[in-house]
């Protein structure tokens, strides 16, 4: 069993912390996103779940956005373009699964 107390994590801005990474299963990352900063428009190869532990963010897909506060859980499908902007200092937990997803660059590098 693994257990993390999110209230005790020391995650610096722009220095995400990988809490767990299990090839074939999932990767879990803690992110400190200061107010006004963003994870710019991007997509990933995996399903992505974003949990807002503290603070608030604005999540955007296809030109529409919604605010997500403490306790919110957001899901994006593989390849779904999205952006995340902190409207308050935010502590986030990102879960990517399966890790790495089909087409991920790390898989292509191994096949070469």
Model pTM score: 0.90
pLDDT at 108: 67
Specify the DSSP class assigned to residue 103: T
Say if residues 45 and 101 touch (Cβ distance below 8 Å).
yes
- Render each residue's pLDDT in the chain as its tens digit; 112 residues: 999 999 899 999 999 999 999 988 999 999 999 999 999 998 999 999 999 999 999 999 888 999 999 999 999 999 999 999 999 999 999 999 999 878 878 776 666 5
Domain boundaries, the chain: 12-111
pLDDT at 107: 74
Specify the DSSP class assigned to residue 97: E
Q: Residue 57: exposed, middle, or buried by beta-carbon count in 10 A (0-12, 13-18, 19+)?
A: buried
- CATH topology classification for 12-111: Jelly Rolls (2.60.120)
């Amino acid at each position: 069993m693994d257990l993390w107390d999110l209230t005790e994590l020391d995650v610096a801005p722009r220095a995400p912390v990988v809490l767990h990474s299990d090839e074939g299963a999932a990767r879990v990352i803690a992110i400190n996103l200061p107010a006004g900063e963003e994870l710019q428009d991007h997509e990933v190869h995996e399903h992505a779940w974003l949990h807002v532990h503290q603070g608030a963010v604005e999540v955007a897909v296809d030109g529409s956005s919604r605010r997500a506060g403490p306790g919110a859980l957001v899901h994006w499908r593989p390849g779904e373009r999205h952006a995340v902007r902190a409207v308050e200092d935010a502590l986030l937990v990102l879960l990517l699964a399966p890790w790495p997803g089909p087409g991920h660059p790390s898989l292509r590098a191994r096949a070469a």
